[in-house]
């Protein structure tokens, strides 16, 4: 009965311990045996910090059955197992983490420098854009003034064109009147000339008869 109880307790302890991860403690050499006693053969020595998986733990014997990373199974002293990695492993891990942190810090610093350069370039581009906007606004104002002036000039030209057309019409009427007056003047001069000629002829015919006759001395 006692054997059954012991066997049951050992079975429960083995079940509870199975599947847990342990590490070889900071000992120089850990023997890896074929059974849970010093009488069993040593198949290899495990280095300090080796990672093993606990499959079974015998509390009374002080041994645990473990599985190595390459799949080999054997027994080691339980007192050499610990839940956490060894100090050397933790130090190595801390050093790797520190190196990774430094690498990330350098990468972030480079990214910051790149972002600062991009920010400076963006600021320069923004300043140039503002200058271009101001210059474009000034040019647009000039164009608007020129357009307004051109519109005013066009209106003035249209007004002048209408005035020229009006004056041209007046000049044409005046030219017609001048032509008419010239024609009438020519007619009057023709009439006057004809009258003078006719009067000369009449006078030439009448004048001899108007002279007094000389008395005859006989």
Q: How many CB atoms lie within 10 A of CB 36?
A: 21
Supply the pLDDT for residue 37. 92
User: In angstroms, what CA-CA distances link 109 with 61, 94, 112, 116, 121?
Assistant: 57, 22, 5, 10, 18
Report whether 66 contacts 53 (CB < 8 A). yes
**DSSP output for 88-108:** HHHHHHHHHHHHHHHHHHHHH
Chain segment 43-70, per-residue pLDDT in tens:
999 988 889 999 999 999 999 999 999 9
Whole-angstrom distance, CA of residue 46 vs CA of residue 204: 175
Q: Token digits for 179?
A: 């032509």
SS3 43: strand
Q: Is the pLDDT of residue 6 over 60?
A: no
Chain segment 91-147, per-residue pLDDT in tens:
667 788 888 888 988 898 889 889 899 989 988 888 888 888 888 888 888 888 887
């Amino acid at each position: 009965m006692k054997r059954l109880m012991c066997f049951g307790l050992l079975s429960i302890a083995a079940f509870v311990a199975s599947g847990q991860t342990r590490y070889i403690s900071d000992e120089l050499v850990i023997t890896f045996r074929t059974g849970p006693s010093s009488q069993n053969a040593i198949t290899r020595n495990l280095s300090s910090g080796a990672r093993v998986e606990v499959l079974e733990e015998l509390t009374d014997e002080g041994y645990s059955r473990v599985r190595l990373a390459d799949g080999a199974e054997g027994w080691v002293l339980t007192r050499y197992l610990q839940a956490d990695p060894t100090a050397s492993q933790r130090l190595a891990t801390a050093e790797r983490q520190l190196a990774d942190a430094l690498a990330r810090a350098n990468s972030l610093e480079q990214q910051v420098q790149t972002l600062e350069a991009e920010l400076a370039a963006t600021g320069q581009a923004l300043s140039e854009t503002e200058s271009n906007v101001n210059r474009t606004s000034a040019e647009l104002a000039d164009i608007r003034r020129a357009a307004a002036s051109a519109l005013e000039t066009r209106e003035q030209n249209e007004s002048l064109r209408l005035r020229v057309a009006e004056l041209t019409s007046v000049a044409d009427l005046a030219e017609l009147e001048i032509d008419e007056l010239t024609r009438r003047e020519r007619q009057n001069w023709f009439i006057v000339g004809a009258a003078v000629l006719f009067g000369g002829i009449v006078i030439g015919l009448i004048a001899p008869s108007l002279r007094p006759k000389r008395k005859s001395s006989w």
